[in-house]
Amino acid sequence: MQQFSGSEKRVTVFGGSGFVGRHVVRALAKRGYRVRVAVRRPDLAGHLRPLGAVGQIQPVQANLRYPDSVIAAVADADFVVNLVGILHESGAQKFDAVQAGGAAIVARAAKQAGVERLVHMSAIGANADSEAAYARSKAEGEAAVLREFPEAMIVRPSIVFGQEDAFFNRFAAMTRISPFLPLIGGGKTKFQPVFVGDVAEAIAMGIDGKMQPGKVYELGGPDVASFKECLELMLKITLRKRLLLSIPWGLAEFQGKVLGLLPNAPLTHDQVLMLKSDNVVGTAAKADKRTLTGLGISPHSMEAILPTYLIQYRERGQFEPEIS
């Protein structure tokens, strides 16, 4: 069997087995890079190998809480991508350890290894003064990355959607068992949902050298929609009728504190706090062309992508008749 014989340039991708990571690995492999996927459990990352040619994609063990494993993972790499992030804390996986301290460890190791380019994924909403620990840790991670590796490129996506997303899939699954869906704070929070394939393409372009070094890019889709509008679109596609129940902020925060104690918490207090701020691309990023369109990417709309995977939540799946 013929082995991979493409580019000799190697990219180490931290968090490459996750939702966004799989698409980034595929985008890099298509460009001919050798891809080293640094994950905590490489034995569970075998599904990534078919995304490239034989020998092109190599899972390796690394944990951001152990600097020596990070140093080993970036050895001989030309480029590095850090996608590691968590939505809620559990066990040793804390926001500060993963999204702030871990980001610094990766950037420091990359700089010491002589890596040419580093792309770090943060999130729109990163804010050192935020009430939410998630947002603060993201901001601290960005600052640490730029201290350690001033030429690093940072990407901040809005809510990312795609076949395995944790947003539309979660609420669509709720329609199977619940007669209503919660609208936290009345569902007025604005999002700019972005397709995971577009995020991956932007990150790969950063590795290609098509982003400005030391800059922060904000990635959003073509449409800005409120939380309520997002759920209404999901219900339209899944052909479900559910009551959208407004949950006051005070009650939502209380629920978040209680539910946050559960394993795989469906809602945390921190997530409720994040919903108090809109999650859209800023005017400065638009003006400076630090966006998808600024990179020459035409972002995919929710209407174009959501039906390709939310159809499974219809009562009879793909066989459910459309109502004209």
Question: Distance between CA 82 and CA 15 in Å, rounded?
Answer: 7
Specify the pLDDT at position 307.
96
From 216, 278, 272, 289, select the one nearest 88 (Cα to Cα). Answer: 272
Q: What is the pTM of this model?
A: 0.94
Could you tell me whether strands 10-14 and 34-39 are parallel, antiparallel, or unpaired per DSSP bridges?
Answer: parallel
Task: Note down pLDDT in tens along the chain; length 324 residues.
Answer: 446 656 689 999 999 999 999 999 999 999 999 999 999 999 999 999 999 999 999 999 999 989 999 999 999 999 999 999 988 877 778 888 999 999 999 999 999 999 999 999 999 999 999 999 999 999 999 999 999 999 999 999 999 999 999 999 999 999 999 999 999 999 999 999 999 999 999 999 999 999 999 999 999 999 999 999 999 999 999 999 999 999 999 999 999 899 888 877 788 899 999 999 999 999 999 999 999 999 999 999 999 999 999 999 998 766 656 654
Q: What is the DSSP letter of 48?
A: G
Longest dimension (CA), the chain: 61
Residue 127, SS3 per DSSP: coil
* CA–CA distances in Å: residue 170 to residues 234, 266, 267: 11, 9, 11
* 180-189: b (≥16 Cβ within 10 Å) or e: ebbbbbebeb
R_g (Cα) of the chain, nearest Å: 20
- Tokens 């129940």 sit on residue: 245
For residue 1, the model assigns a pLDDT of 43
Residues 6+ apart with CB under 8 A from 90: 263
CA dist., res. 111 & res. 144, Å (int): 12
Predicted local confidence at residue 186, as pLDDT: 96
